Every structure is written in C-alpha cells, then in structure tokens.
Structure 1
Amino acid sequence: MAKLSLGLQLGYWGQLAPGNAHVELAQEAERLGYDSVWMAESWGNDCFTPLSWIGAHTSTLRLGTAVAQLSARTPTACAMATLALDHLSGGRMVLGLGVSGPQVVEGWYGQPYSKPVTRTREYVEIIRKVLAREAPVTNDGEFYPLPYNGPGAWGMGKPLKPITHPLRADVPIFIGAEGPKNVTQTAEIADGWLPLYYSPYRQEVYADQLVNAKPGFEVAPTVMAVMNDDLEQALYPVKAMLGFYIGGMGSAKRNFHKELMARMGFPDEAEQIQKLFFEGKRDEAIAVVPDAFADEISLCGPRDRIKEKLKDWEDSPVTTLLISGDIDLLRGMAELTL
C-alpha cells in the first residue's frame, strides 16, 4: 500500500480574479504538508503567471501547470517559461501539458486540431532539448520545424540554444491525457500523468496503457473531495462537474470525456447526458450522471467513509491526489491522508 501525497488544485480563475485567496490557500497547504500546487488555463487566465506569484509566497510546494495548453505557446516559448519559473522558485517547477480540445484550439488559438498525439510527442521532445542545452535546438518534425523554412520564411533562421542556462535539465513533465493512445504515449515519454478523472475500482481501464511507465512515474488525478454526512448532497458537485464535461466540453462528433465515461462502463448514460445537455436541459443531464460513477472518481460523504475509501486509492497506481476546496477541506484531507 503506497503512501499518497496531496496537491492543491486551484483550477481556472473563472469570471473573477481570486485576489490573494489562492496565495492564502497555497500557504496553508504548504503548512499542512501538501506536496504541490497546480494552476489551470483555458480561455481566461494563463497558468504560468499565477504560479509565479504563488511561488514567490511559498517555499516548498512544487509548482505545477495542470495544464499548460500546447496551442497557447510554441514549445520553445513554453520551455522558456518553464526555465524561468524553475529558476525563480529554486527548482520547484513541474510542467503539466495538454492538447485541450478542438473547440478551444481552433476557436480560441486559431490553430488546427490535428494529430494531437504526434503533436504532443514533438512538443515534449523540443522542450527537453531546450532544457538539456546540449546543442542548438533543431527539429524536423511536422508541427514545429526548427529552423522554420516554410511559406513566408526569409531563409535566415539559425539553430539556437537558450542564453540562460536552465537550473535543471530534468524538470518533470506531466501530461494530461484521456484517450488510450495518448495515455500510452504519456507513460513512454513523460514523468507523470494528470488524469481528469480516475477510478481506483476500474484500474483495468488503463492497465495496458501504463505498462511502459518508467520507475518513479507519477499519477496525479484531480479528485473532488466533499465532506458531508449527506452523501447525496456531497456527490452533487461531482455530478455537476461530470454533467458539464461530458455534456458540454466537446461536440456531438467528438467528446473525449464522454468517450472515457463509456470506456469506464457507462456508455448509455454518457450518451444521454450529452443529448440532454445539448437540448439545454442541464439539470436533467446532471441528474442522469450515475451516483456510482460520481462516487468512484471522488472522495465524498462522511469523514469516516472518506477515510475508508482512501485505502482503495492507496492500493492503486495513483501517487498524488489533487484536491480543490477551502481551507477546512484542505485541513481535513491532510488529517486523513498525511
């Protein structure tokens, strides 16, 4: 039975900036013995800037992007941000990457959403070259040619390596992946995996995809934790999250979250959730989310129940639970886990 570590998942900012609330949560998490703090980005806040601010107000927490979207910046720009934050934090940076989805990539970043698995591999390879700083960086891949000699090029590009020497060549790289091919590749090329949701009771869903993971490979899912003596009430936020992701985060043609729910044993419910969500019946879509599924991927209910469920997570490949919540929840989870 492996000991679990805890990370603070701050997620997106949403409509309003959080002010100092995130710093205060991170400082409390650090006092409680949490291992890491993670920031997301979408079509609002970026992830590197808030982590820099949090890093300036903490001293031991690892600073993770969960996730930095590939299409938001070129791989060399991402490597530069990683290099800078790793230096400023004294070697606490963890680079979490993800491809996002076609709605965001094509609608917000104005780039084609093609061959996401191949694109991810190429992106990671370039970042590792930058951080290794062994030679000027070149790449003859399909997506990020270096030097660039395509349409519009002046033909004057030259291979470069970073002026600033990286603090660490081996900054950990995690990947947020859901599809089988992407998870398989993540185990092969990354230091850790960031599942959006994971069930310790259905380890067989991912078992074959993780067989090539190297020693020390980390698995850090975001796990919603709600301490409430009323289990139905505790599960509602989890069901609401699932209803939104499975129903609305994707198109009728492709929704990776819906496909994952189907692979995890709930194909009919996933189909119905999406149908209702597209019809504008969000409350009904949430109601269709099975309590059993919501319960498997979360830690909900009375305190003693959560304590028992933690044993199942400890018996899984999971190494870190990324927790979102207020200070009381962070303290409660620390008491149960750490």
Structure 2
Amino acid sequence: MKLGLQLGYWQRNADDATASVLAAERLGYDSVWTAEAYGSDAFTPLAWYGARTSRIKLGTSVAQLSARPPVTTAMTAMTLDHLTGGRLLLGVGASGPQVVEGWYGQPFARPLARTREYVEIMRKVWRREEPVTGDGPHYPLPLPDGLGKPLKLITHPLRPDIPVYLGAEGPKNVALAAEVAQGWLPLFAFPEKIEEMYGGALAGAPAGFDVAAMVTVVVSDDVRAALDGVKLMLALYIGGMGARHRNFHADIIGRMGYAEAAEHIQSLYLAGRKDEAFLAIPDELADGISLVGPPGRIKERLELWRKSPVTSLLVMGPRDEPTLKLVRDLVLG
C-alpha cells in the first residue's frame, strides 16, 4: 500500500505546508495532494510545493472540470509535469450542481459523458499525434461555424501519458474511472463495504489501477474527541454540501447502509439544527471511514484497509513530522 499526504484546500498565507511536504518526502511518502472548490485552485499550491521537492509525486484531488476547458487543464498539467520532472498525478472531477451552476455559471449536464469527453481531449493534446479536434457535444473543437482551425500543442510534453485519476462517488462514475483513468479518488471510503458497493464497477480496471482513498487520520488517546472531529466534517458534507434533492455525498452515505440517517442528518442541517445533525451521525460511520485513536487501535484498523481494494492511503490531518513519521511507520512498517 502506498502512502500520500492530502493537504486539501490552501486557505490563507499561514497555510504554507512546505515543511510538511518536505517532511513527507524525507519519510518516503509517495505523493502529496491539493484540492479546490470555490477558493484556492489546486495547481498553484502544487507548483509551489513541487518547486521545493525533488521526488514526491504531486496530485490534484480534484481539479474541477467546469473550472477550465479540457485543453487548458491539459496545458497546465503538461507544464507542471515538465517543470517537476514528470511527477504530476492529475485528478479531475465533475464536482456537483451547486458549485458548477452557482460558482462557474455552467449547466451540470451529463457528468459521465462530459468527463469521458474531457479526458479524451486531454489525451489527444498530450499525444500530439495530430491537431486536436473534438466532435462531442460538450467540448467541440474547433468551434463549429467559427473561424478557428484545429491546433496542435506547441510544447512537447515530457510525458504523453500523464496519469489521470477521477474523483467519483457513484458506481457508474467509478466504472468510468476503471475504464478511462489510471486511478480513482474516493472521498469517503468504508473499507469493509468497498467491494460490495463498487466491486462490479472496478471489475474492468487494468492492472496497476490505483484506488487512492482519502482518509482522516487522528492519532489520539481520546477516541471520543477524534470521532467527533470526523463527525463535524460528515455533518457538513451530508447536510450542507449539496441541494436537498441532489447531494452526492449524502447518496454515498446511503449506499453504505445509512440512508435513513443521511436523510435525517440533511433535514436537521438544512433546518439550521446543526448541533442535532452532528449528534445524529452514527459513531460506526465516522469510525468506518477514518483511522482514529491511539497507535495500536489505528494499526489494528489498518488491516481492514489492507484487505480492501484500496492501494493508496491519502491521509488527511497529520502535518507535523513526528505524526507523519508515526503514520508512515504504521502504514508502511
């Protein structure tokens, strides 16, 4: 199992994680990942950390499709991959209708078809076999009935096959990742349930396909407090990160076997009863998607992850070198 450091969003000047990234590289972490929503972008912090490191791989989890046309993402990825000596892992995802429609002002239509078309165009850009054209309905190239002509990327990529990961939660999206990508980035992974939930979707994955699961890690003797931290995050995602009738995060919790709880949590949260929403989250759900507690407990629960389809653990939470070392020893030792 490989080990990565998930930094999430860059929030403010004080959130320069260079020291953590350098520590992770020294300790043998395989990768470091950044994210974006409607604040910081994913690529700029990654370039910052890439300029200060030499070995650790650099991942986006995820760059949002609606933020950039596919050729723009392909250009950015090619440039960053070149500058860092071929270390980029490009995670992309469709996001959700609230962000796509509310922030980018674009329709959230046919995310599966859009994702497929997006990845195909990026790969055409990197291969440089011919001027790039696209006859799909979402990203036609060149623009029909215009003055444009097909163009070829000016710069030769360092790698024409930059690894692509898909951020996906539904079974059809996961199946698409297994078909067109090199990896899948699940936001919430319950190791004992992954095979049941996604075994069929992952059946067509090629050899070496990377299931890179994001997991909150809290090393603490106070298991109750650690679980409560996970539950605070879950309350936000289940309750507030989506519309009442279209919340992909609540849907995935439902597929884990907590459909009634998810509906109840969302209703409480949207009614402004956030404390009650927090209390309504089952402990076993928070525990199942995280690794919390003293080192012995985390080591024991790691066995569930080793038996699952997960091949990379992207740990969220640890930033200081002693904790990063302890996590490294638990996962890789």
Q: Please classify the TM superposition score into its range, dividing by the shorter chain length.
A: over 0.9
Q: Does residue 1:204 correspond to 2:196, yes or no?
A: yes
- Quote the offset at 1:326 in angstroms: 2.0
- Quote the offset at 1:13 in angstroms: 2.1
Q: Deviations over 1:289-310 (max 9, x none)?
A: 1110111111011110100111
Alignment map for 1:271-290 (pairs within 5 Å): 271-290=263-282
Tell me the equivalent position of 2:33. Answer: 38
Name stretches of at least 5 consecutive residues in structure 1 with no aligned partner. none
Q: Does residue 1:229 correspond to 2:229, yes or no?
A: no
SS at match of 1:58: coil
> C-alpha distance in 1, partners of 2:289/2:73?
31
- Quote the offset at 1:84 in angstroms: 0.1
Q: Does residue 1:74 correspond to 2:65, yes or no?
A: no
> C-alpha distance in 1, partners of 2:169/2:331?
26
Q: Please say if residues 177 and 194 of structure 1, whose CA atoms lie closer than 8 Å, have aligned partners that are also in contact.
A: yes
Q: Please say if residues 265 and 280 of structure 2, whose CA atoms lie closer than 8 Å, have aligned partners that are also in contact.
A: yes
Q: Please say if residues 184 and 212 of structure 2, whose CA atoms lie closer than 8 Å, have aligned partners that are also in contact.
A: yes
Q: Please say if residues 136 and 160 of structure 1, whose CA atoms lie closer than 8 Å, have aligned partners that are also in contact.
A: yes
Name stretches of at least 5 consecutive residues in structure 2 with no aligned partner. none
Q: How many residues matched?
A: 329
Q: Does residue 1:176 correspond to 2:167, yes or no?
A: yes
Q: Please say if residues 91 and 168 of structure 1, whose CA atoms lie closer than 8 Å, have aligned partners that are also in contact.
A: yes
SS at match of 1:237: helix
Q: Deviations over 1:90-147 (max 9, x none)?
A: 0001100011111110111111000011100000000011111111110000100001
> C-alpha distance in 2, partners of 1:330/1:236?
21
Alignment map for 1:35-184 (pairs within 5 Å): 35-149=30-144, 155-184=146-175
> C-alpha distance in 1, partners of 2:328/2:183?
22
> C-alpha distance in 2, partners of 1:244/1:205?
23
Q: Please say if residues 226 and 329 of structure 1, whose CA atoms lie closer than 8 Å, have aligned partners that are also in contact.
A: no
- Quote the offset at 1:18 in angstroms: 3.6
Tell me the equivalent position of 1:322. Answer: 314
After TM superposition, which residue ranges in structure 1, 4 or more long, deviate above 3 angstroms?
Answer: none
TM-score, normalised to structure 2's length?
0.97
> C-alpha distance in 2, partners of 1:133/1:272?
51
TM-score, normalised to structure 1's length?
0.95
One-letter amino acid of the structure 1 residue matched with residue 165 of structure 2: F
> C-alpha distance in 2, partners of 1:72/1:137?
20
Q: Please say if residues 219 and 294 of structure 2, whose CA atoms lie closer than 8 Å, have aligned partners that are also in contact.
A: yes
Tell me the equivalent position of 1:270. Answer: 262
SS at match of 2:236: helix
Equivalent of 2:23 in 21, 28, 33: 28
CA 18–170 in structure 1, closer or farther in 2 if over 3 Å, else same: farther
> C-alpha distance in 1, partners of 2:25/2:274?
37
